[in-house]
Amino acid sequence: MAKLVYDDTGRLLFTKEMKEEYTILMPQMLPVHFGMFQRLLELEGYKVDMLTSNHRGIIDEGLKYVHNDTCYPALLVIGQLIDAIKHGGYDPHKVALFITQTGGGCRASNYIHLLRKALEKADLAFVPVISVNLSGLEKNPGFSLTLPIIRKMVYAMMYGDIIVNVANQVRPYERERGTTDAMVSTWQGRLIQGFQQGKGMSRGQMRTNFDAICADFASIPVTGEQKVRVGVVGEIYVKFSPLGNNNLEDFLLSEGAEPVVPGLTDFMIFKIYNRVVDVDLYGGKWIKKAACQLFMKYIEACQKDMIQALERSGRFRAPGTFQDLHRMIQGYLGDGNKMGEGWLLTAEMLELIHTGTPNIVCTQPFGCLPNHIVGKGMLRKLKDDYPYSNVVAIDYDPGATKINQENRIKLMLANAKALAKQQGGEAPAAAREAAPTPSSYTHAGAHA
């Protein structure tokens, strides 16, 4: 059995011996993306289980060990991890926990300390916690993010984004229910098999796979009607995680809407760009800025490959680039507004409005101050500039009832359907004129 080793500060380390013996438990945020992340880590020799549990007991477990005024995603993630240790059939002395740290000012950087405190309360302080970060916050002898792993993770992120993008454009219209989900599973399996064989891990191979993904999803038989499109933005965990947003995308589908969910890539570029902004605003080492700019440029190049594949398909709408979003936010929020999702959240709402999706659900943990500012706090400005925008901010926390959340979304959908009927089933003319293609993105206020 691996010996427990602590650093000079008393932090329990994840050792090389633990890598051989321990199972790492990883919370799920994006099912498609994280499934591929899990397999890539397994190919590096780690034993990883992705947690897919989704029940009220997770919230109750979180409330036992996390103050109820703490950020809802922290409560969910910590509750899910402790619930898995207690009730998931694992040997508590042979598990470790994964948790991400962005390194920014958001409380997400402190989840790891909340988790360790919760483990102490639950008499599980012997369970090691691994910080997954690109900021050098914590290091462990048995876990490291090498450049080859990071590059593979970038490709898996791009694959996840394009699969989710095209699936969301097909699923609401499929003639045979379940066809889209089956195609998602097929491509996940094909890509994971490629990872095992060392395929799909170059930009050339990735471009080929992008085209094949678009072609396969475009081949799924669909009906001809146009449903109301509803964008989903907000705090990253609640925006993406079915556990965090009460299966929001499934609910929108059941209400006859087409969910439109911006991908993970822009958020990752945003976090890297913030390191560049830090040096510009507050000073710092030029080498750090140069390294971040190089990494950012690489991911942006991969993102453009994905966008071009969607455009070539002739079937699917393509998102704009990160630079498109950055140009769009000018005149609304500055680069220094970067806590939580920062200006990116508002930019995503602007992009949705510009591209014919003025109906938006802004998902927010009740106590998330940064997102209340850049989300709910920007709604009046967006409404002033775009009177036809139809945005509802939905709070998620342990005391929020699902029925109240869904009723508020139903009211937004009723308004959306009434407007669509008034416009002959199309997006408002102002939205179509604002930005019919990503290349025409400009300052949003110009179209007020």
- Tens-digit pLDDT profile for residues 332-353: 999 999 888 999 999 999 999 9
Whether residue 231 is found in the same domain as residue 141: no
Is residue 11 in a domain? no
Give the pLDDT band (50/70/90) at residue 111: confident
Confidence check: pLDDT of 397 > 50:
yes
Return the higher-pLDDT residue of 441 and 149.
149
Q: Name the residue range of residue 100's domain.
A: 16-145
Q: What is the pLDDT of residue 443?
A: 39
Q: Of 361, 352, 129, 338, give the one whose Cα is nearest residue 238.
A: 361
Is residue 331 in a domain? yes
Q: What is the pLDDT of residue 344?
A: 96
Whether residue 244 is found in the same domain as residue 336: yes
Q: How many domains does the chain have?
A: 2
pLDDT tens digit sequence for 239-271: 999 999 999 999 999 999 999 999 999 999 999
pTM of the shown model: 0.91
C-alpha–C-alpha distance, residues 346 and 333, integer Å: 8
Confidence check: pLDDT of 431 > 60:
no
Q: 51's torsion region: left (phi>0), alpha (psi -120 to 50) or beta?
A: beta
Residue that is last in its domain, among 145, 178, 193: 145
pLDDT tens digit sequence for 123-159: 999 999 998 877 667 889 999 888 889 999 999 999 9
Question: Could you tell me which residues come within 8 angstroms of residue 305 by beta carbon, excluding any fewer than 6 positions away?
Answer: 158, 203, 206, 207, 210
Whether residue 246 is found in the same domain as residue 367: yes
Is residue 135 in a domain? yes
Q: Specify the length of the chain in residues.
A: 448
Answer for the pair 338, 274: CB distance below 8 angstroms, yes or no: yes
Task: Label the pairing between strands 47-51 and 95-100.
Answer: unpaired
Which CATH number goes with the domain that contains 239?
3.40.50
Is residue 157 in a domain? no
Whether residue 250 is found in the same domain as residue 370: yes
Tokens matching residue 357: 């999706």
Is residue 388 in a domain? yes
Return the higher-pLDDT residue of 407 and 99.
407
Q: What is the mean pLDDT of residues 427-440?
A: 43
Residue that is last in its domain, among 145, 165, 196: 145
Q: Of 262, 318, 300, give the one whose Cα is nearest residue 437.
A: 318
Q: 331's torsion region: left (phi>0), alpha (psi -120 to 50) or beta?
A: left
Answer for the pair 132, 142: CB distance below 8 angstroms, yes or no: no
Q: What is the mean pLDDT of residues 385-409?
A: 94
Confidence check: pLDDT of 179 > 80:
yes
Is residue 300 in a domain? no
Confidence check: pLDDT of 226 > 80:
yes
C-alpha–C-alpha distance, residues 162 and 135, integer Å: 27
Answer for the pair 60, 79: CB distance below 8 angstroms, yes or no: yes
Whether residue 106 is found in the same domain as residue 248: no
Residue that is last in its domain, among 111, 145, 179: 145
Is residue 110 in a domain? yes
Whether residue 258 is found in the same domain as residue 403: yes
Q: What is the pLDDT of residue 104?
A: 65
Confidence check: pLDDT of 284 > 70:
yes
pLDDT tens digit sequence for 24-70: 999 989 999 999 999 999 999 999 999 999 988 999 999 999 887 78
Whether residue 251 is found in the same domain as residue 357: yes
Whether residue 357 is found in the same domain as residue 251: yes
pLDDT tens digit sequence for 357-372: 999 999 999 878 888 8
Q: What is the pLDDT of residue 115?
A: 92
Strand partners, 97: 25, 129
CB count within 10 Å of CB 204 equals 8
Whether residue 136 is found in the same domain as residue 251: no
Residue 6: exposed, middle, or buried by beta-carbon count in 10 A (0-12, 13-18, 19+)?
exposed
Whether residue 87 is found in the same domain as residue 233: no
Q: What is the pLDDT of residue 6?
A: 87
Q: What is the pLDDT of residue 108?
A: 62
C-alpha–C-alpha distance, residues 200 and 119, integer Å: 39
Give the pLDDT band (50/70/90) at residue 318: very high
Q: Treating both helix axes as pointing N-terminal to C-terminal, what angle do 265-282 and 147-170 enclose, rounded to 10 degrees? A: 130
Instruction: Give the 3-state DSSP-derived string for 127-168, with helices as H, strands as E and coil as C.
Output: CCEEEECCCCCCCECCECCCHHHHHHHHHHHHHHHHHHHHHH
Is residue 170 in a domain? no
Residues above pLDDT 70, as percent of the chain: 92
Whether residue 249 is found in the same domain as residue 396: yes
Confidence check: pLDDT of 432 > 60:
no
Whether residue 111 is found in the same domain as residue 233: no
Q: What is the pLDDT of residue 419?
A: 82
